Amino acid sequence: MMEEKARRDRFHQELEALKERLLELAGLAQTALAGCITAFWNRNPDLSRQVINGDRAINDLEVDIDGECIRLVALYQPVAIDLRVIMAVDHIIAEIERIGDQAVNVAEEALNLAGRPPQPLHPDLLTMARKVQEMVARSLESFINRDVQAARQVCLADDEVDNLDRSITQELLANMAAHQEVVPLDLCQIDIVRNLERVGDHATNIAEQVVYMVEGENVRHRCQG
C-alpha cells in the first residue's frame, strides 16, 4: 500500500513537472509571437531574425515534452483524468509549436517589409494581431486553471479574428486591384493576416483540449456551445 502511494505521488510530481515544461514552451512561443508582431509593425529586421533563429529551441523542447508524455503513459499507465491530462498536454504542445512556426512566417514577411519603402500598413492589422495574442494567452490560462468557461470564450473570440481576416484581405485585394504599385506590400500583409488567423486557430485548438481534459468531452469544431 505504501509503495503504491509512493508511486502515485511520484507520478503526480512528474505530471506537474510536465505541465511546467509545457508552460516553458508556451513562454517561448508567446515571446516569438510578440516579437514577430513588433517586427512587422516597426519594420525591425533584427527582431525578425531573432524570432526566426529562436524557432529551433521551440522545436527541440516540443520534441522533448512529447517524449516525456510517452514515457509517463508507458511507465505509469494512467487512467481517467490523469490520462486525459497527458493526452491534452501532448496535443497542446503540438499547437504551441505551430504557433512558433506561424511567428517565423510572420517574421519572414517582416523582413520583406523592412526592405521596402515605408508605406502605411492596414490599420486593422495590429488590432488583429493583438486579439490573436490575447486568444493564445487566455487559452493557456484556461489550461493552467482548468477553466472550461474561459476555454469556450477563446472559441467564441475566433469568430472575431476570422471576420477580421476576411475584411482585411478583401480590402487589401481591392487596393491591389486599384493601385498596382502596392501589390508587393499588400501581398506581404495578406500573408501576415493568413498566419495570424492560423495562430487563432491553434489557440482555439488548445481551448478545445482544455474542455476535453476537464470534462472528457471531445468538442473539436464546436466548443462554443
Prediction pTM value: 0.94
> What is the domain count for the chain?
1
pLDDT in tens, 157-198: 999 999 999 999 999 999 999 999 999 999 999 999 999 999
Residue 220 within any structural domain of the chain: no
pLDDT in tens, 29-78: 999 999 999 999 999 999 999 999 999 999 999 999 999 999 999 999 99
CA–CA separation, 173 vs 179, rounded Å? Answer: 10
Q: Which of 57, 196, 56 is nearest to 136 (CA)?
A: 196
pLDDT over 60 (residue 215): yes
Those residues whose C-beta lies under 8 Å from the C-beta of residue 38, and which sit 6 or more positions away, are 44, 47
Residue 55 within any structural domain of the chain: yes
CATH number, position 93: 1.20.58.220
Instruction: Name residue, grid cell 482544455.
Output: 210
Residue 131 within any structural domain of the chain: yes
Q: What is the pLDDT of residue 221?
A: 55
Which structural domain range is residue 168 located in?
Answer: 2-215
Average pLDDT of the residues in 134-152 = 97
How far is C-alpha 182 from the chain's CA centre? 30
Residue 85 within any structural domain of the chain: yes
Residue 188 within any structural domain of the chain: yes
Residue 222 within any structural domain of the chain: no
Phi-psi region for residue 179, left (φ > 0), alpha (ψ -120 to 50) or beta?
A: beta
Instruction: Tell me the residue length of the chain.
Output: 225
Residue 221 within any structural domain of the chain: no
Residue 165 within any structural domain of the chain: yes
Q: What is the pLDDT of residue 1?
A: 72
pLDDT over 70 (residue 147): yes
